[in-house]
Structure 1
Amino acid sequence: MSDMAPDLIRSYVDRILRIKEEEDTLKADIKDIYAEAKSNGLDKTALGDLVTHLRKQAKNPEKQAERSSLFDLYLDAYTNAPHAHTHTREG
Structure 2
Amino acid sequence: MGGGAVAADELRLLIERAERLEEEKKGIADDIKDVFAEAKSRGYDAKAIRQIMKIRKQKREEYQEEQSILEVYMQALGML
Q: TM-score, normalised by structure 2?
A: 0.75
1:52 paired to 2:28: no
For residues 5-84 of structure 1, the aligned pairs below 5 Å read 5-55=7-57, 57=58, 60-79=59-78
Q: Percent identity?
A: 34
CA displacement at 1:28 relative to structure 2:
0.8
Q: TM-score, normalised by structure 1?
A: 0.68
Instruction: Report the AA paired with residue 78 of structure 1.
Output: L
Aligned-partner SS, 2:19: helix
How far apart, in 2, do the equivalents of 1:12 and 1:64 lie?
Answer: 39
Aligned-partner SS, 1:79: coil
The size of the alignment, in residue pairs, is: 77
How far apart, in 2, do the equivalents of 1:29 and 1:66 lie?
Answer: 33
CA displacement at 1:49 relative to structure 2:
1.9
Which blocks of at least 5 consecutive residues in structure 1 are unaligned?
81-91
CA displacement at 1:39 relative to structure 2:
0.9
Q: Which runs of 4+ in 1 moved over 6 A?
A: none
